[in-house]
Amino acid sequence: MTTLQQTIRSTARPREWKAIVVLILLIPVLWSPPFLFRFFLYQPFNIPSGSMTPTLVVGDYVFAAKYAYGYGRYSFPFAPSWISGRFRAADPEHGDVVVFRSSKGTSADYVKRVVGLPGDRIQMRKGQLILNDRPVTRVPLKEVPAGSACGTDDGAKVKRWRETLPSGASYITYDCVDNGYLDNTDVFTVPPGHFFALGDNRDNSSDSRLMSVMGFIPMDNLIGKVTRIIWSLDEDGEPHMERLGKVW
């Protein structure tokens, strides 16, 4: 055996042993309940904007079920960019509130409601959602103070609608402005492998209606389904206990 071979083998062995020791030390961490819960089951998120008001408001903390749609590139922090597709993939349903990454910029997490699946035709007419050429049922509710949801003065009120999709999903939307910028759109046909998402605060949400900003969202960019508000703080930093519970 040459001196060079001896040198290579003598330096390789400590490195190999170091890697083995690190892996052994990581086993309790990788299989610990907090790690499994956070990385494979539910991931917590906080809501930083009012685009999903009144369903989700600034100060809400939510759990997103990561297993709901399978695991892909954005399911785990620091996942390599070459990963494609999803393991145990499942598509969302109409009305699901989901966390995802936009194809226009994958550095931020977004929360919106799924209103269109592959093959669906989506349009807004005078503020009403049109799904596959049929107006989605909506019922007017009593107006309430807008607060910060509409970006207006404190005395302003906001129109509310109870919107119900053909799937049965039912939720409340805000209508801050009559004939707003995004209240009338072209028809969008959702391509294969994508979905169309809207914010419940329809006049204050950058969503799939803006093709240059978000557009159609790849299914592979899904992170999880928002299932529950686990904590909430109001504008003064006080607990908002009445908001805790299931997300519809």
pLDDT at 161 over 70: yes
Instruction: Determine which one of 51, 75, 102, 232 is catalytic.
Output: 51
pLDDT band at 138, cuts 50/70/90?
Answer: very high
pTM: 0.81
Q: Is 103 a catalytic residue?
A: no
pLDDT band at 1, cuts 50/70/90?
Answer: very low
pLDDT at 22 over 50: no
Mean pLDDT confidence for 221-239: 90
Q: Which residue has the higher pLDDT, 114 or 16?
A: 114
Distances (CA, A) of 248 to 32, 121, 173, 196, 240: 31, 23, 12, 18, 18
Walk across the sheet containing 134-135 and list its strands: 134-135, 128-131, 121-125, 188-189
Q: Is 157 a catalytic residue?
A: no
Instruction: Determine which one of 66, 75, 102, 112 is catalytic.
Output: 112
Q: What is the mean pLDDT of the chain?
A: 84
In this prediction, residue 147 carries a pLDDT of 85
In this prediction, residue 168 carries a pLDDT of 96
Distances (CA, A) of 238 to 60, 231, 242: 12, 11, 12
User: Among 199, 132, 207, which Cα is nearest to 166's?
Assistant: 132
